[in-house]
Amino acid sequence: MRNQSIVPRGFIVFAQILGTVIAVIGLIAAFYFINDQLKNLAVTDPNFVESKILWSIVLAVCLYMVWKTIYTAIVICKFVKESDDQEIIANRYILAVLSLTLGGFLTPFVLTQFRNMETVSTVKPRWFLSRVLGLTMLVGGILGLGGFLLSALTGAFGATGISFADILANTSGLVTFIILISLTALGAIGVLTFYGGNKQEIFDGNTTASKIMNSVAVMFLIVATLELVWLIIISIIRLLGAIADLFQKMGQESGFMKAFAIMWALANVVFTFYYVMMIVRISVECIAGIWARDGRVVIKYNENVARVEQQKQAR
């Protein structure tokens, strides 16, 4: 039994479950929308093949994200429930990266608000992320590939199926097919490499097998890094969009509503700026940590932050 826990486990689990439920509901709603779009496609439409492939791609993405969202939530909740405070605090950035790549906010925010202290992760990111991403890609790739081919090649979702040659002849269809096959293959390699037996002992060793495992882990690190870089880019674009919205509101007609609209847009810019800075900071630190030679994420003690906290406590 944990006494005087400084980690709000209940809130983290609640935030993760809430975000997962909202995301899954949204993805299910998207699935029904896609289904309607597919049913409304007409074979006589000159863009029928392109439209059929496009909506099949969107369906594949939704299926992949549903699995990834649910599985990631299970991993985070399981880790939080089974670990003590020190383990959660030390590994908070590794957990935050899993939630961040799904667009999460509450869980990463809570995980990064613990007391200012220098910690070293007790979980090797290469091992942990390879296992999580491996299973995510294997199951998600199979679901995405199955959904894509089922939607495109058959009339299961209301529209007449196209031929496999049509998929290969379409650039988007071909690229999607290759990506889904690659995800499934990489996921299968990850599961076979990092699950079962004494795989972690082999991974931590200095043998030929451990070097092969580390090489495979590097591939998953590249995937995690690309996801974080993409997240940073999307966050910056969101901030630019908020700033553009502010200038748009400033150019509208005068009056009370204009002032209200400007204040709302300004508040949105401030909130978005804080959100983006948090994501960039966490993402950069996670990228640096997972590529560290010793395979540990080190979160350094910040004297400036400590000084500010001491001043607050003195008031």
Domain boundaries, the chain: 9-303
Strands (DSSP E) contained in 127-283 are: none
Helix extents (H) in 45-170:
48-82, 85-90, 92-100, 106-111, 125-153, 164-169
Rg of the chain over Cα atoms, rounded to whole angstroms, equals 23
Question: How many CB atoms within 10 Å of residue 181?
Answer: 12
Label residue 197 exposed, middle or buried (CB < 10 Å: 0-12, 13-18, 19+): exposed
Confidence band for 312, pLDDT divided at 50, 70 and 90: very low
pLDDT at 96: 72
pLDDT at 84: 76
* Dist. CA 68–CA 125, nearest whole Å: 18
Confidence band for 305, pLDDT divided at 50, 70 and 90: very low
The answer on pLDDT for 253 being more than 70 is: no
Top pLDDT among 297 and 90 is at 90
Q: What is the mean pLDDT of the chain?
A: 79
3-state SS, residue 299: strand
Look at residues 49, 42, 46, 101 and name the one whose alpha carbon lies nearest to residue 76: 101
Q: What is the DSSP letter of 120?
A: E
Torsion sign, CA atoms 304, 309, 314, 315: positive
The answer on pLDDT for 140 being more than 90 is: yes
The answer on pLDDT for 186 being more than 80 is: yes
